[in-house]
Structure 1
Amino acid sequence: METNVLSGLLLILLAGSCSGVFSVPFKFNRDWAWENNWFIWSFAALLVMPWLMAWLTVPRLGTLYGADPHSTSLVALFGLTWGVGAILFGKGIDYLGISLSLPIMQGLINSIGTLMPIVLRDPSELATPAGLRILAGVAVILAGIILFALAGSRKEQSEGSRQTGAQSRSRFRKGLVICLLAGIFGPMINFAFVYGAPLQQQAVALGADPVYAGNAVWSVALTAGFLINAAECIRLFRRNRTWKHYASRRVPGITLAAVAGIVWYLSIMLYGMGGNRMGEAGASVGWAVMQSVAIIAGNAAGICSGEWRATTRHAQWPMATGLCCLVLGVVILSRGL
């Protein structure tokens, strides 16, 4: 393993850890509606931090985007699509909790985001030994997703004595659908990274450090995603009259949601830095490693916060087995690094 690949992998491991725990501050804002938390999160994660870091690390941004409007527009389009997935991602956490929603959503994001860059680049790669190994890793990860869904169903059943049974089952089904859709749209941010390669090359030509060149992509993609997220939050503010929550708990609530946004942006920035150091593997295997580490970190956060404290072993063993599948999937995917 070359030094640049090792350092890239370490950055991606850190990125996955940030991605897995970013939503923990939301648990301390439970008196806020989802849209209150998500609007502040979006403002920090998708608008302020991307442009701040791009301004600090990429010179002559205006020249950069003007030189390649096609790539800029394509990155923005992927960002818009990802924005829909980000809304569903936030709602999935609200419906199913950290330790169940993150494995489902990020497991799918992992699988699709790993395979599609290879398929779009050269589908024949999947027939090689390395490609077959990637397919095997994805299959193991999907098995883990199924086990986590089973664990969630049993968790809801065990909590039926404290909730109305029909309401609990309905909420789980709705949350599961939301998480599945979020998992399909979520990988679009990785496509923005892949198809933003010309912008990164131009950034380096203008004097940017290659490690930070990905910031030229994130600023465009995440701003496009912000437009979708902000529009949804504003719609909910008007419907639910939830603007008032900002006045009732202004400073602590805004701070917590902003911290969640900053931590999440660090995850995507570190992924870009690590992915660039890993080379071609960054957009496939690197993506898979980051998302799987996020699942593990998210589970640790959910368990520590008590989400599974009241459940029985009947519900806990599929979660533990599913987690083992995810770890095994990461091992299979990363063998060739």
Structure 2
Amino acid sequence: MNVIIGLSMLILGGLSAGTSYVPLKGVKGWAWESGWAVQGIVAWLLLPLLLALLATPHLFSVLHATPTATLAETYAFGFLWGLGGLAWGMAVRYIGIALGFSIATGFLSSLGTLVPIIAEGKWAATLATPSGRITIASIALSLIGITICGRAGWLRDKQGRSTFNFSKGISIALAAGILGACFAFGIAAGDAIKQNAIANGAAPQWAATPIFFVELLGGITVNLIYCIAMNRRNKTFKDYSQAASSKTLKTNYAFSALVGVLWYLQFVFYGMASFYMGPYSFANWSVHMSFMVVASNLWGYYYKEWTSTTRATIRLNTTGIAILVIAGIIMGAAGAKAAAIGNEAESAKAAKAVISQKAKV
């Protein structure tokens, strides 16, 4: 049951992430960097701090007790991830929600999931169990689905009837995916923060929130530096105080903030999933990324990003989405099987201990 709950959290997180950039379409009359700065402050500073304060007793004491090297490493990975997040937003701007998410996510999923397994020496142990092998297979299947979605998006733009800038956006999307994988590494680097939070009374399912706070401080740092530089270069500081009307100004702030809320919700769900997925939490990143692609492509259909392409290309993209959903279902089944086997093993171990104790008596 816990694994099913964990999988549900990952799905909700992926859907939230895949939807997060949609409200930017409601921002009118602002330069891109202005809306991006507002959503970044909400997503990468205010909400992480608020949730960390609510979920972690004595938050700043926890951080103070954490080795400086751990904080610095977590922040540094967040800074690198912030570069990727900035590139991700630009990629969506140039090649659309569907293709931008698909290409970037392909790199995020593969690097963010497989590298930690290899780096932590878990590869042999993972392949030693049937459920582990199924899990690895589901990760491979999700990568195939992501690749198919990316191929469909490439064909869409190659057919020459797209309003997006493929040649410019594709390189940015690749950079976004490579740098974005640093977030998974930052979570692993900040494990001591999580353990300190639990020791100070934080619930295990919420204990990752102070990690996110430290890591996202790195992310907001690089994004604000860029946005302020662009505001200065383009003379767009006036965006924050004026628009076509006072109503439009309020709407722009509301939509930009909503981007931040939806974006951060993915990590609320992701943090809870890490608690429930147990020994198979290494696969969280892949499942999360897969459903992010599902959501972003559905929004791409809704906003008619595919109406100018052929039916064959649309079918190819739909096939990729279906494969991603199947991969997520297989992942859940493998996790549930692993949990059942684990429970049976624990029950057998407990029964054996009782029998041994009685024999001694």
| Same fold (TM > 0.5) | yes
**Alpha-carbon shift at residue 332 of structure 1 (Å):** 4.4
Structure 1 gap segments, 5+ residues each:
none
Deviation at 1:22, TM superposition (A): 0.8
> 1:33 maps to what in 2?
31
Separation (CA, whole Å) in 2 of partners of 1:126 and 1:5: 17
Q: Where do 1:290-329 residues align within 5 Å?
A: 290-329=288-327
Where 1:336 maps in the other structure, the secondary structure is helix
Deviation of the 1:278 alpha carbon: 1.6
Cα distance, 1:244 vs structure 2: 2.9
- C-alpha change, 1:211 and 1:300, in structure 2 (3 Å) is same
Distance 1:258 1:55 in 2: 20
Give the corresponding residue for 2:342: none
Aligned to 1:205: 199
Does residue 1:177 correspond to 2:175, yes or no?
no
Which deviations, in whole Å up to 9, do the C-alpha atoms of 1:39-73 show, x marking residues without a partner?
01110000000001111110112211111123222
CA contact 1:88–1:178 (8 Å) conserved in 2: yes
- Partner residue, 1:97: 96
In angstroms, what is the RMSD of aligned CA positions?
Answer: 2.0
1:57 aligns with 2:55: yes
Deviations, residues 72-108 of structure 1 (Å, cap 9, x unaligned): 2221111111111110111111111112211221232
Distance 1:30 1:319, change over 3 A: farther
Shift of 1:174: 1.8
Corresponding residue for residue 336 of structure 1: 334
Residue 75 of structure 1 corresponds to which residue in structure 2?
A: 74
Q: 2:179 & 2:94 partners in 1: Cα distance?
A: 18
Q: Deviations over 1:134-173 (max 9, x none)?
A: 443343333333333332233224453x76xxxx6xx202
CA contact 1:82–1:188 (8 Å) conserved in 2? yes
Q: Quick one: percent identity of the two aligned structures? A: 33
Give the letter for the 2:156 counterpart.
K
C-alpha separation in 2, matches of 1:10 and 1:142: 20
The answer to which of 120-129 and 41-50 deviates more is 120-129
Code of the residue aligned with 1:154 in structure 2: it is L
Moved more, 226-235 or 70-79: 70-79
Secondary structure of the 2:237 match is coil
* Distance of 1:180 and 1:133 partners within structure 2: 28
Equivalent residue number for residue 252 of structure 2 = 253
Given candidates 178, 186, 190, the residue that maps to 2:180 is: 186
2:109 corresponds in structure 1 to 110
Q: Contact conserved, 1:111 with 1:141, CA < 8 A, in 2?
A: no
Deviation at 1:37, TM superposition (A): 1.7
Question: How many angstroms apart in 2 are the aligned matches of 1:329 and 1:10?
Answer: 14
Q: How many residues align?
A: 327
Counterpart among 223, 227, 235 of residue 229 in structure 1: 223
Deviation at 1:207, TM superposition (A): 1.2
Contact 1:289 1:334 in 2 (8 A): no
In 1, the alpha carbon distance for the partners of 2:5 and 2:325 equals: 20
Change (3 A) 1:328 1:5: closer
Selected match of 2:237 from 234, 243, 255: 243
- Provide the C-alpha distance between the structure 1 equivalents of 2:192 and 2:331, rounded to a whole number of angstroms: 27
Q: d(CA) in 1 for partners of 2:3 and 2:167?
A: 41
- How far does residue 127 in structure 1 lie from its aligned partner after superposition? 4.5
| CA distance in 2: counterparts of 1:335 and 1:173, whole angstroms | 40
Greater gyration radius = 2
- Residue 334 of structure 2 aligns to a residue in which SS? coil
- Normalised to the residue count of structure 1, the TM-score between the two structures is 0.90
Three-state SS of the structure 2 residue aligned to 1:307 is coil
What's the CA shift for 1:293?
1.1
Does the C-alpha gap of structure 1 residues 328 and 4 become closer, same or farther in structure 2, counting only changes over 3 Å?
A: closer
